Structure 1
């Protein structure tokens, strides 16, 4: 019997207890991706969670609703999206020893305005046949002419690639980043198009040899009967920055300024970084936990270990405007 059922039974017997409030979540993530961990939370606490999928305009919606917003939490992907929500002034700081102990400092806002829940590395998919092991080394190396005509990627102004370029700026400055972006563009086998999974298909079809992509897409493709063969034609390589580690991005959560069910919302936030919830994320979505002691799936373990870059994601997000300007200046998608 869940806690909610127990309380309802108690009330039926004549003992009045305060009803458990629901938690209302606005999310840009497809609800099916987070439903398993939400179900686990409800089963453990008896607190229901209402997910509202907001594909676009989440900041505008929260701003328009203001103090009347029913949303307690907002969940999204990409550090730039999280920072945009914070900058709009629609979130409130959260102080929690549970969150601070579970999440490394570089994966949460220093003022408690957002917290990472999972990590995804921006890595390289490499052809098993045409790229030797160890041939992919650093992000900086992707601009080397030896890769001319061998790289494919999605749009340079997509959030995932803008975050990577923002990290390049954080490491080397804007002038170097502009030269790097131009160098990668010169090495493209075709104009940027499609999503990360489309790049794997392009490698499989012989259009290019390597591509940029997020780790979890590989897990999705290997679980797909239609895409498994293409996925098996590539392997994951973890490039690093010359003076750092592998670039990671995140999915994350923030509490809204309105938060009508603040206490219950905090319970959900803390549950989402528990070992149980982190293991569900890894097994179901092939996303890396933020907790160092959480288990990854067997599939993810087979990809090998990597050292995440230590530059704070808040610093990375701060270079997004410059990254967008550089991508437009070099006409990356042209």
Structure 2
């Protein structure tokens, strides 16, 4: 597998090789230290050019397994979701990109709306991936699931106090809630889901109450929210489930100290409450992909049991294929009910969600 990273300064210098750029920070809080965006070769049919915003070293094992099974080489270009989308737009019809992987459904929806993706007619994909986790026109497909859960301080919060996302707007949580900024796509998709479920007016009222209960101005990534809960800065926080699982799986004593002070709660589990919000890492084939057949083979490999175990479990996510079990650490969360809202609708409401969060003072 060949790998390159993309930085904004390299992008806006005509996608030429750039030097002296400031490292770019990706959606997962990591830093891209390689500043040469490069241009992968697309002449051979035995390769795909993969643009991915997933910055997890464990994914390399997945790509190597695909190459071993198919003989197709994976040329990896990494960057943030927005950087990669802008690169594909700039490259236009000459883009060498075959597959785009993002860490949030809103970016996939944007790529879909901008005509950057092409439909993929595959019985393998549509039979393996639940309908609400893929687009209605088959331009993108969810490949892993992540739940947006509540983390709480076990010294200051009785889990019996917890119930729903909506309850976090109750005045009893004043000064007790930590969360990432409104620019974070995970939070935007949660708010978009509530707009779909309850309407804009009720959702804005909820967000206003939630903001009123913030213990501090939003800062940091999901791990920072967990650390804040463990240290007593706040009592509860909204985070993706895999961040908690990652800490539980860690052998670092500092991580284990954090884990000892927190609990994980899956909200909205009672009848009529809608289930716990989920998001995806997902992928689609680029509209002008030079290696379409190989790209489809890549997507279909992603839903095999072997790939799902690597793709989801190495990063402590949930597989999208129901017959594949999560790893032991993730399984410790127990059974829970997920929201069955179509994720495509989150993208449709993303712009409204951002404006609503701004009006409510969510910085």
Q: Same fold (TM over 0.5)?
A: yes
Give the Å deviation of 1:133.
2.5
Matched residue SS, 2:49 = strand
Which residue in 2 is equivalent to 1:288?
318
Do structure 1's residue 199 and structure 2's residue 239 form an aligned pair?
Answer: no
d(CA) in 1 for partners of 2:52 and 2:168?
34
Task: Name 2:3's counterpart in structure 1.
Answer: none
Q: Does 1:230 align with 2:230?
A: no
- Equivalent pair of 2:146/2:317 in contact (CA under 8 Å): yes
Tell me how far apart the structure 1 counterparts of residues 165 and 263 of structure 2 sit (CA, whole Å): 17
Match of 2:105 in 1: 79
Q: Tell me by how many angstroms 1:219 deviates.
A: 2.2
How much has 1:33 moved relative to structure 2? 4.1
Q: 1:150 to 1:31 in 2, by over 3 A?
A: closer
RMSD over aligned CA atoms reads: 1.4
Structure whose CA Rg is larger: 1
Q: Does 1:110 align with 2:136?
A: yes
SS at match of 1:228: helix
In 2, the alpha carbon distance for the partners of 1:265 and 1:84 equals 20
Is 1:41 the equivalent of 2:71? no
Give me the whole-angstrom Cα distance separating, in 1, the residues matched to 2:96 and 2:182.
35
Moved over 6 A (4+): none
Deviation at 1:232, TM superposition (A): 2.8
Task: Quote the Cα distance in structure 2 between the aligned partners of 1:88 and 1:318.
Answer: 13
The Cα offsets for residues 288-329 of structure 1, whole Å up to 9 and x where unpaired, read as: 000000021000010111111011011121111111111111
Structure 2 gaps of 5+ residues are 1-43
Greater CA deviation, 55-64 or 111-120?
55-64
How far has the Cα of 1:90 moved from its partner?
Answer: 1.1
Q: CA deviation at 1:65?
A: 1.3
Q: Who is 1:65 aligned against?
A: 91
**How far is the alpha carbon of 1:31 from its aligned partner?**
5.3
In 2, Cα distance between the equivalents of 1:140 and 1:278?
32
How many residues were matched structurally?
315
Provide the residue aligned with 1:125 in structure 2: 151
1:50 aligns with 2:88: no
CA distance in 2, matches of 1:96, 1:123: 33
User: Whole-Å Cα distance in 1 between the matches of residues 56 and 198 of structure 2?
Assistant: 38
Aligned partners of 1:158 and 1:54: how far apart in 2? 16
Give the C-alpha shift of residue 32 in structure 1: 1.7
2:56 equivalent to 1:28: no
Shift in alpha-carbon separation, 1:110–1:328, aligned structure 2, 3 A: same
Q: Which moved more, 1:19-28 or 1:118-127?
A: 19-28
CA displacement 1:171-211 (0-9 Å, x = unmatched): 11111111100100111111111111111111111111110
Note the C-alpha offset of 1:280: 1.2
d(CA) in 2 for partners of 1:115, 1:283: 18
What is the aligned counterpart of 2:328 among 292, 298, 301? 298
1:322 corresponds to 2:352: yes
